[in-house]
Amino acid sequence: MPCWYYDKKELRNTPSALDNIDYDTEMRYRREGARFIINSGLKMDLGCNTAATGVVYFHRFYMFHSFRQFPRYVTACCCLFLAGKVEETPKKCKTIIETARALLSDAKFSTFGEDPKEEVMTLERILLQTIKFDLQVEHPYSYLVRYAKCLKGDEAKLEKMVQMAWTFVNDSLCTTLALQWEPEIIAVALMYLAGKLSQFEVVDWVGRNNKHLRWWDMFVEDVTMDLLEDICHQVLDLYSQPASEAPPDSPPLSPKPIITTSPPSTKTNGQEKEKPEPPKAKPITVIAPAIPEVPPYPFPATFPAPPAHTSAYPPPYPNPPVAPPHIAAPPPVSIPPHIPTPPVIFPSYVAPPPHFAPAPFYQPTPPPAQPHRPYYPPPT
């Protein structure tokens, strides 16, 4: 199976970066697409695993394609549609599109084109080829629950810590952590972060021995504090985004050849399919010349009678054609006198003689006489 984990240098050399989209803008597009998938899943009552699988498909897809080429909201709907079938919580494509229509503005929904269903169904084939049909995805949720059952301490604080770690896992989907580390490492790091914020210190755990310096050493190996701090900072950066002005919704579309005969198109910052405004032309006043009225033609009430000179012509073929008198009629057909009359081939029927009697159709043969069985007297 392909390896879906990348280092930070590879995450900065994505197709979107090669397409002149800066790193911060690409991260914003990933956050918006992931948040849209999560909100759509909640609106359609899908499980957390379905939404998380769709987000992972979304991040993997844009490691091979640019945001300029594929609008992120169309890709997000396609990822959620495929994730629903993989996680056995399928939803119709029509339902997902209706949910997207309710969550998105008119400008954002315009990226779906005239036939949104056809856009999503066509992109599904591209998505499957991009992720190389590797459909099974693991998430930190199952590891989070399993690790929490092994910890000992105050039940109330432990439950609060697990709930906070679960929220961090949901928010981590808006980052690229799913492209950097395995789900069990993400679960350990976010439990560590939740424990620090909820002031829950893990002192003892099930299965502890002398080799385990920390509680996560029993589950994962070679996880340093620097690694955990890096994962925690990537999640905390989501909550420290500056509340600046609303950025443009989408990147500009890929440049297309400009036809000189057509008016220049208006600039747009998004993938929204906006039509250029036509140039305003000055009104032209044309005065048409007056058309003279034509008097109506006086049609007669009835057709007139034929002219008198037409009766002077003779009718065609008044009499049937007759053979000229100088041509004699053909002689009658008769047998020449030198040829005798042909003999009669089939003579008339002759009755059979009176003494002739035809045999019947079937005469049964009498059975042969059976020989007499000899008599044997009984013994005395």
pLDDT in tens, 273-302: 444 555 555 555 556 556 566 566 565 555
What's the pLDDT at 303? 54
What's the pLDDT at 210? 80
N-to-C CA span, the chain: 106
What's the pLDDT at 80? 96
Distance CA 306, CA 304 (A): 7
Cβ(58)–Cβ(33) below 8 Å: yes
What are the residues facing 205 on neighbouring strands?
A: 151
Maximum mean pLDDT: which of 184-188, 211-215, 376-380: 184-188
User: Would you state the structure tokens that stand for residue 377, as one six-digit string?
Assistant: 């007297």
- Per-residue confidence band for 265, with pLDDT thresholds at 50, 70 and 90: very low
How crowded is residue 110: how many other Cβ atoms within 10 Å of its Cβ?
A: 17
What's the pLDDT at 255? 46
- Per-residue confidence band for 342, with pLDDT thresholds at 50, 70 and 90: low
Q: Classify the C-alpha dihedral 321-325-327-331 as positive or negative.
A: positive
Arithmetic mean of pLDDT over the chain: 80
Burial class (CB in 10 A: 0-12, 13-18, 19+), 16: buried
Among 7, 90, 28, which residue's Cα sits nearest to residue 53? 90
Q: Does residue 330 register a pLDDT over 80?
A: no
User: Would you state the structure tokens that stand for residue 371, as one six-digit string?
Assistant: 């020989």
> What CATH number should be reported for the domain whose range is 8-130?
1.10.472.10
Between 33 and 269, name the one with better pLDDT: 33
Phi then psi for 225, rounded to 5 degrees? Answer: -70, -30
Region 15-33: mean pLDDT is 94
What's the pLDDT at 257? 41
Q: Does residue 50 register a pLDDT over 60?
A: yes
**From residue 167, how far is each of 40, 86, 172, 202 by CA, in Å?**
17, 24, 9, 19
- Per-residue confidence band for 250, with pLDDT thresholds at 50, 70 and 90: low
Among 82, 63, 71, 89, which residue's Cα sits nearest to residue 33? 71
Cβ(71)–Cβ(271) below 8 Å: yes
Phi then psi for 151, rounded to 5 degrees? Answer: -90, 150
Distance CA 18, CA 12 (A): 9
What's the pLDDT at 206? 86
Which amino acid is it at 189?
A
Distance CA 167, CA 190 (A): 9
User: Would you state the structure tokens that stand for residue 221, as one six-digit string?
Assistant: 């190996």
**Percent of the chain as helix, strand, coil, to the nearest 5:** 45, 0, 55
Q: Does residue 262 register a pLDDT over 50?
A: no
Cβ(61)–Cβ(78) below 8 Å: no
- Share above pLDDT 70 across residues of the chain, in percent, rounded to a whole number: 66
Region 5-32: mean pLDDT is 94
- Coil vs helix vs strand at 175: coil
Q: Where are the domains of the chain?
A: 8-130, 140-240
pLDDT (tens digit per residue) in 202-245: 888 888 888 888 888 888 888 899 999 999 999 999 988 765 44
**From residue 4, how far is each of 13, 106, 114, 132 by CA, in Å?**
15, 35, 34, 11
Region 47-65: mean pLDDT is 95
pLDDT (tens digit per residue) in 127-162: 999 999 999 999 999 999 999 999 988 888 999 999
Region 12-21: mean pLDDT is 94
Distance CA 151, CA 200 (A): 11
Tracing tokens 């029509």 back to the chain, one arrives at 94
What's the pLDDT at 155? 87
CATH topology of domain 140-240: Cyclin A; domain 1 (1.10.472)
What's the pLDDT at 221? 85
